[in-house]
Amino acid sequence: MGVREILAALTRRWYIVVVGLAVAIAGGWYVYDSNPPDYAARGLVLLLPPEGNTPEAVGSNPFLSLGGLELTARVVVATYSSTSFSEEVEAISPDAEVEVSMDESTRGGVIAIDVKDKGEEAALSMLDYVTGTVSERLQGLQDEVGVQESSAVTSMVLAMDTVAEPDYQSLIRLLVIVVGGSIAGALIIALILDLALERRRRRGSYNFWNRRGGALRRAATAPGADEDQAQGPETRSSTPDSAVSVGVEPRTPETIAARLAVPGRRVGHDNPTK
């Protein structure tokens, strides 16, 4: 089926295409209205070494000794992969998506927190909550192994968004599915319907000519049809069965006998010489 045939079929079934476009527009509006875009926010938490492990050469500057905290940060990140944390987040906001990972753009103990949620306030609130749990989990890990307070690793908020950015990716995916699916479905239905109707129309025309041809064949093979054809149309039209020519005496046995009758003679087998 070529492009011209497809366009011709869609033109013939334009009402199906119009209905499909209307459904696509209505469905797209419903998806946009009932599914607001996600808002994304990001925060960074930095791990700091204990003051007792700071070399005297670097003084009291902890940022000069961050190289050995990457392993500690990865251990803290691993605690967020448990199902208990997922249930905890779901209890606070069922639509929230939280990802805690290592920040690959820096080297050292930097933990990145990415949050997505419905609404800007919900995203910022979830980010603030998860950021606060980093120091709690870090302290809990060290308490379990009996780390003294003077040797404990601490944390600080390095950066955190105060304005959440809208994320339209999920909304665009839904719109493509709904709108594209509606339009594609309308086109497919229009093509299938046009194909079925065209086949039905052709079948009906074929049956009509078959019936007509059969009637002509039956008329040609009927008794007396050959004699009528042999006489020709002029003979059949000029000498109908019930017509009698004006001024011509019909030929009957009585008229024939009257013409043959001669005065003084009898019509029969008698000898006329007698």
Q: pLDDT of 7-65, one tens digit each?
A: 888 888 888 889 999 999 999 899 888 888 889 999 999 998 886 555 554 456 666 56
Q: How far apart are CA 39 and CA 164, in angstroms?
A: 6
Higher pLDDT, 132 or 235: 132
d(CA 120, CA 233): 96
Residue 54: Cβ-neighbour burial (10 angstroms; 0-12, 13-18, 19+): middle
Q: What is the mean pLDDT of the chain?
A: 77
Which pLDDT band holds residue 237 (cuts at 50, 70, 90)? very low
Q: How is domain 38-167 classified at the CATH fold level?
A: Alpha-Beta Plaits (3.30.70)
pLDDT at 152: 85
138 or 232, which is more confident: 138
Q: Report helix, strand or coil for 242.
A: coil
Q: What is the dihedral of CA 265, 269, 272, 274, to 10 degrees?
A: -110
Q: Beta strand pairing status for 154-160 and 38-48?
A: antiparallel
Give residue 150's identity as a one-letter amino acid code: S
CB 67 within 8 A of CB 97: no
In sequence order, the 6+-apart residues with CB closer than 8 A to the CB of 163 are 120, 124
**Nearest to residue 34, comparing CAs of 178, 227, 222?**
178
d(C-alpha 202, C-alpha 190), whole Å: 18
The whole-angstrom separation of Cα 150 and Cα 54 is: 12
pLDDT in the model for residue 263: 53
What confidence tens digit (pLDDT) does each residue in 80-131 have?
988 889 999 999 999 899 999 998 887 778 999 999 998 889 999 999 999 9
- Length of the chain, please? 274
CA contacts within 13 A on the Cβ side of 49: 19
Q: What is the mean pLDDT of residues 172-199?
A: 89
Q: Rounded to whole angstroms, how far apart are CA atoms 263 and 266?
A: 8
Domain ranges within the chain, ordered by starting residue: 1-36+168-193, 38-167
| pTM reported for the whole predicted model | 0.57
Encoded tokens for 89: 């987040």
As a dihedral over the C-alpha atoms of residue 77, residue 73, residue 109, residue 96, rounded to 10 degrees, the angle is 20
For residue 197, what pLDDT is reported?
A: 84
Amino acid code (one letter) for 153: V
pLDDT of residue 82: 85
* pLDDT band per the 50, 70, 90 thresholds, residue 146: confident
Write down the pLDDT at residue 63: 60
What's residue 243's pLDDT?
43
Over residues 134-154, mean pLDDT: 86
Alpha helices in 178-252 (DSSP H): 181-220, 225-238
- The residue with greater pLDDT, 252 or 239, is 252
pLDDT score recorded for residue 210: 61
Average pLDDT of span 162-173: 87
Neighbouring CB atoms inside 10 A of 41's CB total 25
Q: Are 126 and 115 in contact (CB under 8 A)?
A: yes
16 vs 193: CA distance, rounded Å: 9
